[in-house]
């Protein structure tokens, strides 16, 4: 008679039980993460603004940067680093200040474009603003310098990850959330880089940039003044 650990049928049953035990938590994580990312925030605003003003390729670069930030946060959370960050208030405060300052920097750029007679994203004004690396970095820093992401990931991971979770659960969280992040922001890029949206932006560039600047300012103010428990 085969021992339980050597019995292929028992191994298969164990794998199925393991799958059914952990899959609902993983799917719950996907659902919560998707709702958080689909809701317009600083990341989405950056993708929308870049796609309208600079075009599809720069918008995709920002989307890839945001997804890379998600990859960083999800990996750190699975490894337990976000819990460590949350335990050290000084480090979280530093991330909070960096994130707020970066949002104000984006607000300044948007307001400057609104006040200027030329689009500041126009290649005639600055080629660097349209570079793939620069836009990728923009999306990555936006996602990475958000202290709420650290705390949010603690909550998200706790929904489907514990000390007894198999390795595939961690991999599914990292790969799945990164893919969802990329998919959501690419869809925003495709929607806001259409000829119709670009035409609307061309006619209303100044007020659009003014609105973006105001929204980035509000987000930066809320980030810097909000308490991080």
User: Which tens digits make up the pLDDT trace of 28-45?
Assistant: 888 878 877 777 778 888
In a domain, 110, yes or no: no
The answer to whether residues 30 and 172 touch, using CB atoms and an 8 Å cutoff, is: no
In a domain, 229, yes or no: no
In a domain, 33, yes or no: no
Cα 12 to Cα 14: distance, rounded to the nearest angstrom: 5
19-23, 30-34, 47-51: least confidently modelled range:
19-23
Range of the domain at 150: 41-96+121-203
In a domain, 22, yes or no: no
3-state secondary structure of 128: helix
* pLDDT mean across residues, the chain: 77
pLDDT in tens, 199-225: 887 777 788 788 888 888 887 888 788
In a domain, 4, yes or no: no
Question: What total number of domains does the chain contain?
Answer: 1
pLDDT in tens, 105-131: 878 887 887 787 655 444 433 444 568
In a domain, 226, yes or no: no
In a domain, 184, yes or no: yes
To the question of pTM greater than 0.75 for the whole model, the response is no
In a domain, 5, yes or no: no
């Amino acid at each position: 008679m085969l021992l339980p650990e050597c019995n292929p049928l028992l191994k298969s049953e164990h794998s199925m039980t393991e799958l059914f035990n952990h899959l609902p938590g993983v799917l719950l994580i996907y659902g919560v993460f998707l709702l958080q990312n689909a809701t317009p925030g600083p990341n989405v605003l950056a993708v929308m603004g870049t796609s309208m003003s600079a075009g599809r390729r720069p918008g995709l670069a920002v989307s890839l940067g945001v997804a890379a930030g998600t990859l960083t946060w999800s990996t750190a959370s699975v490894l337990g680093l976000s819990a460590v960050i949350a335990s050290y208030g000084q480090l979280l405060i530093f991330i909070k200040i960096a994130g707020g300052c970066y949002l104000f920097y984006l607000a300044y750029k948007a307001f400057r474009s609104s006040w200027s007679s030329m689009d500041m994203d126009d290649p005639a004004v600055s080629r660097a603003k349209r570079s793939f690396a620069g836009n990728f970095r923009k999306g990555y820093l936006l996602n990475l310098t958000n202290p709420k992401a650290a705390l949010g990931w603690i909550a998200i991971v706790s929904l489907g990850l514990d000390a007894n979770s198999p390795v595939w659960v961690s991999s599914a969280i990292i790969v799945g959330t990164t893919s969802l992040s990329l998919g959501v922001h690419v869809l925003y890029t495709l929607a806001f880089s259409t000829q119709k949206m670009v035409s609307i932006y061309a006619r209303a560039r100044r007020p659009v940039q003014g609105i973006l600047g105001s929204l980035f300012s509000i987000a930066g103010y809320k980030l810097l003044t909000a308490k991080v428990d």
